[in-house]
Chain A
């Protein structure tokens, strides 16, 4: 097979593997697939894929051409950090987009050199077992998010741009897939957070306060949507049965718009409370809202209302046989 056919074959194999990686759901899976593909479709016999964690250490996640013992030995090795790599990832080691560090120019410790490569005489274009070769994984901002470390070339030669080019292309695909997975993860986290906050707000926004024996106040503040209306109804009914209240005052001073949805939920809440033997007083309907409700055709005549909370409380106390009197 000619070299071009070989290259084309290698490229098409790598492309189909990277297309398959799009289906993977785990970051570790992508790293493992990448490492295995590197070993299978390049001259290099061993490969380790590490990703940069938020604390700037590299975690080894994908292994190719290594046995279980070697993998566990690698896992036990201290993690390298981005900082410790600063002397290695420098321009003088750059070939294409990769970094090649001949053993005599660095004091790094890493992948254990393979036995068969040992003792080979060293000439200028020969790979030495203690050489290092990293193909970096970049994010869209061109920052390193991980490293593909390869070792043990079958031809025993130092890497060239031609050899590295298809591998770098593949690394770009891997980086894109990883970035995608991380974005999905981030989005899910944000969504979870948002949902939790929503729940907290819902809980916070419908307090039912006992102001006197058998008298409850539910101050409503902010927009009432269907989820919140449901929550309000539940809170009210639970609190009523807990306290066996005889009157509940719903204060709507803080509700910016009373439309038919809010009105119908109020009416439902009042009816449900009535079934539990509790009377409802609605307070805080301001003059504009009163006019608007009349125009809308909402019928609230069945429901006891008072203009403000103070009057509502006075009325509620009266209903429970109490009275507010001035002290002499």
Chain B
């Protein structure tokens, strides 16, 4: 496992850089077009969450070598923002503390294979997503 990209999120433009990096890595590791789009879209949602709620944070993209020669793209979205008070609510569709559609977190979860969210109030939030490459 090696870190392929690390993107600091400080401005809205960094969201674009983050999703472009995700798309490039997904392309490089031969993910199919639909999955490239899914990864990129999830990255866009989660990077925007960092920018909207925590202002700054980092995104790390790594490639995982799974069993049977599987390849996974893992992206970690980490911030030191206010944290999420009620993760269960935040993961429910239509729930938003801001002006969004309330689909960012639950939607992103549906776009990827593994989704993990850790959050501590006042300390920050870490969201980890993984998408495994389809065989053949």
Binding site for B on A (CB under 8 A): 223, 225-227, 256-261, 263-264, 287-289, 291-292, 295-298
Contacts and interface: CB of A to CB of B under 8 A. Distances in A.
B25 to A, nearest CB: 15
Contact of B38 (A287, A295, A298): A295
Contacts, number: 66
A291 B23 CA distance: 16
Chain B facing A: main interface SS: helix
Nearest to A263: B101
Contacts of A259: 41, 44-45, 48, 104
Contacts of B111: 292, 295-296
Can you list the 4 inter-chain pairs with the closest CB atoms, starting with the nearest? A296-B107, A288-B37, A259-B44, A260-B103
Contacts of B38: 291-292, 295
A295 B36 contact: no
A296 B48 contact: no
A296 B40 CA distance: 12
B101 A257 contact: no
B12 A257 contact: no
A297 B48 contact: no
B27 interface: no
A259 B34 CA distance: 14
The residue in B19, B41, B48, B107 that gathers the most chain A C-beta atoms within 10 A of its C-beta is: B41
A298 B110 CA distance: 12
A297 B40 CA distance: 16
A289 B45 contact: no
A264 B100 contact: yes
A230 B48 CA distance: 17
Interface residues of B, number: 26
A298 B37 contact: no
Given A288-B37, A297-B103, A257 B44 contact: yes
B4 interface: no
Interface string B89-116: 0000100000011011011101100000
Interface in B65-124: 93, 100-101, 103-104, 106-108, 110-111
Contacts of B19: 256-257
B100 A260 contact: yes
Given A261-B100, A264-B101, A298 B34 contact: no
B102 to A, nearest CB: 8
A288 B33 contact: yes
A227 B16 CA distance: 14
A295 B107 contact: yes
A284 B13 CA distance: 24
B12 A260 contact: no
28 contacts: A225-B12, A225-B16, A226-B12, A227-B12, A256-B19, A256-B23, A257-B19, A257-B40, A258-B41, A259-B41, A259-B44, A259-B48, A260-B45, A260-B100, A261-B100, A288-B33, A288-B36, A288-B37, A291-B34, A291-B37, A291-B38, A292-B34, A292-B38, A295-B38, A295-B110, A297-B93, A297-B107, A298-B101
Nearest to A267: B101
Contact of A288 (B34, B45, B108): B34
Contact of B37 (A225, A292, A297): A292
Nearest to B106: A297
Contacts of B110: 295-297
A269 to B, nearest CB: 14
Contact of B34 (A256, A260, A287): A287
Q: Which of A223, A287, A292 gathers the greatest number of chain B CB atoms within 10 Å? A: A292
Contacts of B93: 297
Contacts of A226: 12
